Structure 1
Amino acid sequence: MDILHISGFIGAFLIGIVLGLIGGGGSILTVPVLVYLMGINPVTATGYSLFVVGVSSLIGAFINMRKKLVQVRTAFVFAFPAFVVVYIMRRFVMPAIPENLFSVGEIVVTKDHVIMVFFAVVMLITSVSMLRNKKRNILTNVSHYHYHILFLEGILVGVIAGFVGAGGGFLIIPALVLFAKLPMKKAVATSLLIISINSLVGFAGDVGVMQIDWDLLLLFSGISIFGIFAGSYLSNRADGKKLKKGFGWFVLVMGVYILVEEFMKL
């Protein structure tokens, strides 16, 4: 085991700690850790990420269910279109995309390049959502559930999760607050159930069409889960808002780094 692999497993632990500390966001680092530290190609890394995100989010969802914070009915209204789309993306769409998409002169743009650039954009959007301090005082303006809007946004989340292996919490949580009238704490808790369903169904789409190193994946996931419990313990002694903002800046820097790295490869 070389130094990069050891760094990758340390990264898995840190991903879990972030998830435990601030309740989300850490999974956005799973693909970069798998690609740049573990040496896994981006397509496979997005599949592995779905598994890691799905398992860790499911644990968080169960914890919140015991606290009666999860709105199961709302979760399934959102999750149904999302997991249908993410399964189709992973089972049929992603394998059908050619490795070399197009070329401009001597520059060849590959599927791996596009995945990582799009993932970097998702990271930048996520970082902005973490850094914003806008107060959530919009619930009083919503008179009824907008299930049709939740359904449409579920489709969008399915596309993003299927393409880059990210949970899409930055889209799910605002939608639950705006259109399902959930208080922020319940929106965050409910989003974990949605993310777990989407991610694990999406990963199921990879089984059979992708060669999976189960030993590596289960070890990586186990270390992340251990980090979640460590982060949950530390969360009682840390300022969640400051941590979230600091992590937001870190995700922003990582997003810019990935963009630069991928354009340098062209």
Structure 2
Amino acid sequence: MTGIVAGVLGLVVGLVIGALGGGGGVLSVPALVYALGQDAHAATTGSIVIVGIISVVGVLSRLRDRTIDWRTGLAFGAVGLPTAWAGSVLNRAVPQPVLLLSFAGLTLAVAALMLVRGGDAREEPAAATGPAGRSVPAEDGPAGPDGRTAVLVRPHRRALAVRTAKVLAAGSLIGFLTGFLGVGGGFLVVPALVVLLGMGMPAAIGTSLLVLTLNAAGSLAARAGHLQPDWTVLGPFVAVAVLGALAGKLVADRLSAAALNRSFAVLLLLVGGGVGVQSVLALVA
């Protein structure tokens, strides 16, 4: 019976990761704790295993689409590796109710940010764009023969410095939270790419899967000496979730960026609210 429940939950988690480029950890941690009876520390480790495997499949399925910004994704992942390690170490020292309450608070905060500032999530920009739909700042060039000013599409040094600072700050924070809360970080990476870096949702989803893969690898490496996954639960969960992730990609290809953004925010509100109520009740009981 446990395997059946794990498979059903895995399907849902896979669909969410495949369609939204994240959010799987947001679902898998509560699923492992409340539906499958694991404690928070085992659930956060199991969630990283689940999210990591599904993310690898998601990256492979998008290689032909050119929706992955490899430079930004690798930068996020590299910056987050040491902080993911630190978060994993801290995870073992924090009581379960505090872990779950932190998880709920962060989820609700990100949902609010997505609704307030991410409501204008757009398709790939109509203006000049770089790889994977990234907007490229334009500068005025010399006047042409007809007297009109030519526009040279090239990154401005100041804009590049600001972008680099945002990647460093966001990547470090997301890496830490991945290790600490076991959520993969996708539900943070997608808003960061959309809101902070101005990336379109399709590119943000693909790039997020790359970051999740790298963060999961770093977090699991930090847990190597304490890694005791229950494969009777994780096996069916992951097997069905992989199929769900492939189906989720098909769903994402048919939805607008605004619809994906709203779906992501609503998902975070529902899960964060539910986990928050459960955590508060556990603390006051």
| Structure 2 counterpart of 1:16, from 3, 14, 17 | 14
Range 131-140 or range 10-19, more displaced: 131-140
TM-score (ref. length: structure 1): 0.80
**Residue in 2 aligned with 1:210?**
227
Inter-partner Cα distance in structure 1 for 2:252 and 2:76: 29
Inter-partner Cα distance in structure 1 for 2:87 and 2:110: 22
Conserved 8 A contact 1:78-1:150: yes
Give the 3-state SS of the residue equivalent to 2:63 in structure 1. helix
Describe the superposition over 1:12-44 as per-residue Cα deviations: whole angstroms up to 9, x where unpaired. Answer: 111112223344323310100000001010011
Give identity over the alignment, percent: 29
Inter-partner Cα distance in structure 1 for 2:106 and 2:266: 14
The aligned runs of 1:1-266 (5 Å cut-off) are 1=1, 6-90=4-88, 92-95=89-92, 97=93, 111-131=95-115, 132-135=118-121, 139=135, 140=137, 143=156, 144-145=159-160, 146-177=163-194, 182-235=199-252, 241-242=258-259, 245-246=262-263, 248-266=265-283
CA 1:211 to 1:222, structure 2 compared with 1: closer, same or farther past 3 Å? same
Describe the superposition over 1:233-256 as per-residue Cα deviations: whole angstroms up to 9, x where unpaired. Answer: 455666675465345334312312
CA 1:245 to 1:182, structure 2 compared with 1: closer, same or farther past 3 Å? closer
Q: Which runs of 5+ in 1 are unaligned?
A: 99-110
Inter-partner Cα distance in structure 1 for 2:178 and 2:249: 25
Amino acid of the residue matched to residue 187 of structure 1? A
CA 1:151 to 1:255, structure 2 compared with 1: closer, same or farther past 3 Å? same
Give the 3-state SS of the residue equivalent to 1:24 in structure 2. coil
Deviation at 1:62, TM superposition (A): 1.8
Conserved 8 A contact 2:10-2:236: no
Inter-partner Cα distance in structure 2 for 1:14 and 1:82: 27
Conserved 8 A contact 1:12-1:224: yes
TM-score (ref. length: structure 2): 0.75
Q: Which of the pair has more CA radius of gyration?
A: 2
Conserved 8 A contact 1:22-1:240: no
Conserved 8 A contact 1:127-1:252: yes
CA 1:9 to 1:240, structure 2 compared with 1: closer, same or farther past 3 Å? farther
Conserved 8 A contact 2:114-2:191: no
Please report the RMSD computed on the Cα atoms of aligned residues, expressed in angstroms. 2.9
